[in-house]
Structure 1
């Protein structure tokens, strides 16, 4: 039996990009994805974590997700939507509306649960995927972002996070093998940083010095496809069948050249196993996958060079007004100089940009090395610090180590404060 599904991840609904909402861009992506679902009618949609940008997302971001689930179910009633929590998500939050999700043929796995005997509830992590005849065509091993507190201390094999992660994979794969029949596929969905994965500057670190990056040796050969989330660049990791789908929109200027996509994956477990990793979508092989490129609704421009070159590039940008502010294109400027900037330089940049088309979101100055002092080029960001950067500076100043959970809690407080301010202004 053949199973066909979409693999996507890292939506980051509710993200603010230099204080600008990405709601319009996410709306365009979700509308496009609904078109693909209606056209292709896959058995499943796999969302591999970081559904939201913060653990306490705004109501508008939550509404985007739930409206999408309702619309997707109306267009493809037989399709299942399977979601896992990423490091940006609250696993308990995405699980708490389970009865609502069930109405839309959707399921979320947010945290690792324990049985009454104190062991991991493996059954909750094994999700069957059905075809239109309600026949099980695959099993999805759904592993959310694994926080040490949730997976350590069960027994002697889980004394630390690395041992616990390996043990959990071994136990879950063994349980999946018991359930699997020869005509059913095994798909593992995980939100993790894998060794050898290429990162961008918008991904929140979940490892220290790459010492905790996970090895693909965790994935038994019986696994037909590994659907990964966390890294924003679409890429394979060592093997063709181990893949990050990447984010649907660029989440930083370092992602301008990414080919944002979803992956359409087809698995025929009974095809010739020697053809397992073929990527030729025209052959009837065990595993086929095809990237479907996502159109970019708002463009990003990174302008670099000496001042005269920067002004020249700004003047050469496409003309034509864009009425809606949230649809205007983003501009990042990094200019090179060895003298202090003029006081009105930002206004000069603004005046050089074609009117009512762009949003200048960042200006950085890079000092150039001189022959006399042999100094090293140094970049200074001239933009006012964000609350997140100020918090990081104060946190580090007091000598505290980086703590992802603390940072997520702070971002949630900022989000709540912004929402309260918006509510006060509208009332």
Structure 2
């Protein structure tokens, strides 16, 4: 049984005023080529197919087009909802898409058996069992109890999520026995695990008071396909628990990452092999740091990656010369005539300044509530202890709202 594990597409994302539509189109085309070349039986998207709960029409069109084109490759598709996705929006087409060999699990189902799927091989015979677990919202698995402290809430939620995983795993084992074989069991998830390394584009999930799910709370599935963290990685060094990461760089600190999807091979004995398939980068983007003199050389070198139609997107962090008031003018002069676009300028000892393009292009739609709050706090003259106090108060308020 061959599975392709991917996640965090964020269709419809606007990056500092720039659309990612072309990059997503190229990725979808490349992904279908991999399905055909490797004779993949099933493709799993482990959450955040869209960037917002109300994606633009072109993003929905891209989603639907991909599903139609994938069907001709004789590959099943499973779409799990993420924290960016709207349960209602994904639900509205799930019945229709099921006729196109696509199964959608937008959120935790009232009938948990709907989250247990039999994945078939290309010849139509059962090849694996899937415990399809999307992003879990607290209200879906837990009732808030009066008088609970933060630690009690965290423990209760962790136990509720672990119980949900275990209940589905028990159903999978029963189904395994019913089918009379030794089908491998796969589980999914869209959450932060203990020790996972994130990037600045990941909007932190604070599910109730739970910041990270412990690795030892997962059931003993043969493979656990995770989403939410954009940096590809093994969890706790384990071969069978992995984040595949996002297929395109969603922030400047991801720019130098090699993006990937994972080809997972399983049989009756369990996990056999995980092969990394590197995703070709379409849009060059770089984060450069240095003095103005160093930056002039670095910008010239970066320009070699760009073309007239596809200029390099740059984030520039100025050190030593960051006190100058005319940084934008100086950097604009360095970039003149080169295939580069500066999207953000940072002063090393200050916050991000307005770039050559208006910061107003970064709209509230592109920011999480946590990011808006953090930016507001950083604009005030507050000492570290006061910032921490306000952040704790904000978190407490957010937890109460999520509980309701």
d(CA) in 2 for partners of 1:154, 1:171: 21
Q: Is the 8 A contact 2:303 2:312 kept in 1?
A: no
Question: In structure 1, what is the equivalent of residue 85 of structure 2?
Answer: 89
Question: In structure 2, what is the equivalent of residue 392 of structure 1?
Answer: 373
Question: In structure 1, what is the equivalent of residue 33 of structure 2?
Answer: 35
Structure 1 residue 320, shift from structure 2 partner: 8.6
* Counterpart mapping for 1:226-237 below 5 A: 226-237=224-235
* Counterpart mapping for 1:193-272 below 5 A: 193-207=192-206, 211-221=210-220, 223-238=221-236, 239-270=238-269
1:146 and 2:133 equivalent?
no
- Using the size of structure 2 for normalisation, the TM-score is 0.83
Question: In structure 2, what is the equivalent of residue 328 of structure 1?
Answer: 311
SS at match of 1:62: helix
Deviation per residue, 1:198-235 (Å, 9 max, x gap): 111110010389953111222222x1100000111111
Structure 1 residue 295, shift from structure 2 partner: 0.5
d(CA) in 2 for partners of 1:241, 1:314: 41
* Counterpart mapping for 1:239-318 below 5 A: 239-270=238-269, 286-318=271-303
SS at match of 1:302: strand
List gaps (5 residues or longer) in structure 2: 146-152, 381-389
- TM-align CA RMSD: 2.9
1:352 and 2:340 equivalent?
no
SS at match of 1:317: helix
Aligned length: 368
List gaps (5 residues or longer) in structure 1: 115-120, 271-275, 277-285, 368-377, 408-427
d(CA) in 2 for partners of 1:164, 1:138: 26
SS at match of 1:231: coil
d(CA) in 2 for partners of 1:243, 1:231: 10
d(CA) in 2 for partners of 1:27, 1:359: 22
d(CA) in 1 for partners of 2:375, 2:137: 25
Q: Is the 8 A contact 2:138 2:207 kept in 1?
A: no
d(CA) in 2 for partners of 1:404, 1:35: 43
* Counterpart mapping for 1:16-27 below 5 A: 16-27=14-25
1:162 and 2:135 equivalent?
no
Instruction: Choose 349-358 or 89-98, whichever is displaced more.
Output: 349-358
- Using the size of structure 1 for normalisation, the TM-score is 0.79
Q: 1:212 to 1:236 in 2, by over 3 A?
A: same
